[in-house]
C-alpha cells in the first residue's frame, strides 16, 4: 500500500491508502491575510506561532508553511521587496524556525519561489513535504532536483503550461507526466502526492463527481496519494462548512488521503459578541450584566470564544471511524470527550490501592 512519510525531528505523519485521513493545516499563509502579512513585515511572528499551536491542538497532522507575503511598505522604500525571489527565501527560513520552536508537527514547505523552497528544506528538521511542483517544464526542472537532493516527498499539482483544464482527463495526463518525470530523477511514486485540483461546485455542477473520479484513477492507475485545497469546493457558496463536511468524507471514500485545510473553528470575537448583545437588547431580552462571554456565545449558538477543532475535523474523524481507520473508535471518543474543567479530575479507574 502506498505510504508517503513526512517527519519532523520527533514525529511522523503518514499519508496512505490504509491510514487515517491526513490533515495539512493551511493557516500559516499570509496570502489573503492582511493582518498576518503586516505583522510579518514588522518582524512579528506571534500570530504564526499561535496558529501553529492552535492547528496542532485541533488535530492537524502536518502544518503548511507559506511564505508568499507582500511587504507593501518596505516595497515603497526599497524596490527589491517587489521581487518574491528577494522576500521569500529569508522569510521562509524564519517561518520554519519559528514554527519548529513551538510545535513538533511535521511541516509542508509551500512556495512558488525555488529559493524559498531550498531555504525551507535546509531549515526544516526531519523530512518535510514540499509544496509544490506542476507540469510546467521550467517548474519540473527547478523543483524535482530539490526533491531528489533532499529526499523529500512533493505535492504535484495537475496543471501545466496551458493552465488548469476543466477536462479531468487532461488533469490526469498532467499528473501522469509529473509522476513519470519524477521517476526519471529516481523519485518513487509513493513520494508524489497529487493535487487533482478541485473546482468550485457553485461554478461547475460536476466538480464533485469529477474529483471523485480523478482520485480513483490516480489511486488505481498511478498508485499515488492525493490531496486538495478542501475549501475550494464550496467557494462562493453560503454555509460553506456544510458543503465541506459532505465533500471530505465522500472524497475519502473515493480514495483521497489528505487535504490542505483549516482545522480550526475560529473564535467569536468581541465585535460579534457586542453586535449580538445589542440585537438581543433591542428585542427586549434582558441578560445578566456579568454574563460570561463563553457562556453567552454557547447559549446563542455562536460557537466559542476559543479556537477549537472545526466541524470539518469532526466529519473527518467520523469518516475515519466508519471506514475502520480508527479501530474501536478510540480517536473519535477522545475527540468528543468533554475537557476536564479546572479543579475537576477524571474518575479514577484501574488499580485498587493495596491495604
pLDDT (tens digit per residue) in 69-112: 999 999 999 999 999 999 999 999 999 999 999 999 999 999 99
Above 60 in pLDDT, residue 355?
no
Please give the average per-residue pLDDT across 231-236, as a whole number.
96
Give the confidence band of 304 by pLDDT, cuts at 50, 70, 90: confident
- Reduce the secondary structure of 182-245 to three states and give it as a string: HHHCCCCHHHEEEECCCCCCCCCCCHHHHHHHHHHHHHHHHCCEECCEHHHHHCCCCCHHHHHH
Helices marked H in the chain: 34-41, 46-58, 72-77, 84-102, 114-123, 137-150, 168-184, 207-217, 240-254, 270-282, 293-299, 311-322, 330-336
Above 80 in pLDDT, residue 351?
no
pLDDT score, position 181: 98
Above 90 in pLDDT, residue 338?
no
**Residues of the chain with pLDDT > 90: what percent?**
86
Above 50 in pLDDT, residue 350?
no
Above 80 in pLDDT, residue 340?
no
Question: What is the spatial distance between Cα 153 and Cα 187, in angstroms, rounded to a whole number?
Answer: 8
Model pTM greater than 0.85?
Answer: yes
Contact 155, 109 (CB under 8 A): no
pLDDT score, position 346: 44
Above 50 in pLDDT, residue 214?
yes
Above 90 in pLDDT, residue 352?
no
3-state secondary structure of 275: helix
Greater confidence (294 vs 261) lies with 261
Please give the average per-residue pLDDT across 27-45, as a whole number.
96
Question: What is the spatial distance between Cα 100 and Cα 97, in angstroms, rounded to a whole number?
Answer: 5
Greater confidence (307 vs 275) lies with 275
Closest CA to 33 of 86, 78, 69, 58: 69
Label residue 255 left, alpha or beta by phi (over 0 means left) and psi (-120 to 50 means alpha): left
Amino acid at each position: 500500500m502506498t505510504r508517503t512519510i513526512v517527519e519532523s525531528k520527533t514525529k511522523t505523519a503518514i499519508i496512505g491508502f490504509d491510514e487515517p485521513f491526513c490533515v495539512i493545516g493551511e493557516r500559516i499563509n499570509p496570502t489573503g491575510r492582511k493582518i498576518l502579512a503586516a505583522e510579518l513585515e514588522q518582524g512579528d511572528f506571534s500570530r504564526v506561532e499561535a496558529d501553529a499551536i492552535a492547528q496542532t491542538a485541533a488535530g492537524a497532522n502536518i502544518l503548511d508553511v507559506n511564505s508568499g507575503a507582500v511587504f507593501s511598505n518596505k516595497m515603497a522604500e526599497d524596490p527589491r521587496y517587489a521581487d518574491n525571489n528577494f522576500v521569500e527565501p529569508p522569510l521562509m527560513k524564519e517561518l520554519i524556525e519559528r514554527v519548529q520552536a513551538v510545535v513538533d508537527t511535521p511541516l509542508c514547505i509551500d512556495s512558488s519561489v525555488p529559493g524559498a523552497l531550498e531555504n525551507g528544506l535546509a531549515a526544516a528538521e526531519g523530512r518535510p513535504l514540499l509544496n509544490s511542483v506542476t507540469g510546467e517544464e521550467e517548474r519540473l526542472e527547478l523543483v524535482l532536483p530539490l526533491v531528489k537532493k533532499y529526499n523529500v516527498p512533493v505535492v504535484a499539482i495537475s496543471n501545466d503550461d496551458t493552465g488548469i483544464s476543466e477536462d479531468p482527463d487532461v488533469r490526469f495526463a498532467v499528473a501522469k507526466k509529473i509522476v513519470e518525470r519524477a521517476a526519471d530523477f529516481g523519485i518513487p511514486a509513493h513520494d508524489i502526492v497529487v493535487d487533482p485540483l478541485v473546482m468550485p461546485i457553485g461554478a461547475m455542477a460536476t466538480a464533485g463527481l469529477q474529483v471523485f473520479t480523478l482520485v480513483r484513477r490516480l489511486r488505481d492507475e498511478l498508485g499515488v496519494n492525493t490531496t486538495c485545497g478542501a475549501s475550494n469546493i464550496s467557494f462562493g457558496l453560503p454555509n460553506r462548512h456544510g458543503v465541506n463536511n459532505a465533500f471530505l468524507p465522500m472524497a475519502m471514500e473515493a480514495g483521497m488521503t489528505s487535504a490542505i485545510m483549516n482545522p480550526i473553528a475560529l473564535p467569536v470575537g468581541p465585535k460579534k459578541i457586542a453586535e449580538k448583545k445589542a440585537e438581543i437588547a433591542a428585542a427586549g431580552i434582558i441578560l445578566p450584566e456579568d454574563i460570561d462571554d463563553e457562556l453567552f456565545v454557547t447559549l446563542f449558538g455562536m460557537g466559542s470564544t476559543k479556537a477549537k477543532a472545526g466541524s470539518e475535523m469532526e466529519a473527518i474523524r467520523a469518516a475515519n471511524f466508519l471506514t475502520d481507520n480508527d479501530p474501536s473508535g478510540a480517536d473519535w471518543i477522545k475527540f468528543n470527550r468533554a475537557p476536564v474543567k479546572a479543579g475537576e479530575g477524571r474518575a479514577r479507574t484501574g488499580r485498587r490501592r493495596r491495604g
